[in-house]
Every structure is written in C-alpha cells, then in structure tokens.
C-alpha cells in the first residue's frame, strides 16, 4: 500500500499544480473577457484541485493515524472525484479524437480564421501541432483519472483499516450498560 500511497501523492501534487494553473488562467480570462463559458469552465475544472486537496488530507491521515480525517473530506473525495473522473474521461476521449483527426482540425481552424480581419499568423497550426496538443491533453487526462481512482482506493483502504482497528479494540471498550 506504500507504493500506491506514494504514486497517489506524486500524481496529486502534479495535478494540483498543473490544474490550479489552468483554473487561475480561466479565472483571469473570465475577468478580462466576461464570457460566461469561462466561468462555467472555471467551476468545472476547479473540481480537480479540490479533489487533490482533499486527497492530501487523506494521505496525511493515512501516514499519521493520530490525525483524524474530517467528516467532509470523504464526501469531497467521492463527489468531486466523480466530477474530476468525468472530466478526465472526456479529456482523454476528446484528445484521442483530436490526434486521429488532426488534419480536419487544421482545416477547421484555418477555415474559420479566413473571415476574421487582422487575424493572427496561423502558420504554427499544423497537423503535428494538433497531435502534440492531443498527446499532452491525453497524458493530463490520464494523470487525473489515475489519481482519482487511486484516491478512491486509498479512501476505501483507510475505512477498512479503521473498521478493523475498531473491531480489534472491542474487548477493551468500557461497557455502556448500567
């Protein structure tokens, strides 16, 4: 279980740093552009750093059994974890589709920018560029998905260990009967 905890900790810190950057970037874009879709994406993507924060609390409770886990942390890991897992799955599917259809993506982007006056130079928009974006997105989505699944497993393990500790110490509990 130490290997799972170490892998989950590494993925948690990686996801916390990377996705917090994306969330802050979306917040800045929303503040400057006032486009409501940015706010929606901000709220949706903030589930990943929130899940990572709750996972760090779980990891701390596993490493130090004397530190109790908050009653809201398991709910946060489960609920926000399902949202993050949904985002991971959709990210992987979308990016694998982008990798497979990179030439069509180039045509769509360049075709859409033809009508825009003073459009930026799009010479960097090539098939290889879209494939690299798809590969990076797939890796990020897999990291989030693996992290969420590992944290679900650690949460289950945490409860199983706590339950077995309680059962083992039943003989030493005082009698509640008068």
- Does some domain include residue 139? yes
pTM for the model stands at 0.80
Quote helix, strand, coil % in the chain, to nearest 5. Answer: 80, 0, 20
Q: Identify the three-state secondary structure at position 81.
A: helix
- Does some domain include residue 172? no
Q: What is the pLDDT along the chain (178 residues), one digit of tens a residue?
A: 788 888 999 999 999 999 999 899 888 888 887 777 878 888 888 999 999 999 999 999 988 888 888 888 898 899 999 999 999 999 999 999 999 888 888 888 777 666 665 656 666 677 888 899 999 999 999 999 999 999 999 999 988 887 776 655 544 444 444 4
- Does some domain include residue 178? no
- Does some domain include residue 173? no
- Does some domain include residue 176? no
- Does some domain include residue 23? yes
- Does some domain include residue 16? yes
What is the domain extent for residue 24? Answer: 2-64+72-162
Q: Please give the tally of structural domains in the chain.
A: 1
- Does some domain include residue 8? yes
Helices and strands (DSSP H and E) totals, the chain: 6, 0
Task: Give the ranges where 64-118 is alpha helix by DSSP (H).
Answer: 73-100, 102-113
């Amino acid at each position: 279980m130490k290997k799972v905890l170490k892998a989950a900790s590494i993925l948690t810190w990686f996801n916390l740093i990377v996705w917090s950057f994306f969330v802050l970037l979306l917040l800045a874009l929303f503040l400057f552009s006032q486009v409501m879709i940015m706010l929606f994406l901000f709220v949706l993507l903030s589930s990943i750093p929130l899940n990572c924060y709750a996972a760090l609390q779980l990891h701390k409770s596993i490493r130090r059994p004397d530190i109790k886990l908050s009653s809201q942390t398991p709910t946060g890991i489960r609920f926000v974890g399902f949202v993050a897992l949904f985002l991971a799955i959709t990210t992987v599917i979308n990016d694998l589709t982008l990798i497979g259809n990179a030439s069509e993506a180039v045509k769509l982007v360049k075709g859409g920018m033809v009508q825009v006056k003073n459009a930026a130079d799009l010479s960097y928009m090539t098939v290889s560029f879209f494939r690299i974006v798809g590969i990076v997105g797939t890796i990020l989505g897999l990291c989030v998905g693996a992290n969420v699944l590992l944290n679900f497993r650690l949460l289950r393990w945490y409860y199983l260990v706590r339950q077995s500790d309680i059962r083992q110490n039943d003989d030493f509990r005082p009698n509640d009967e008068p």
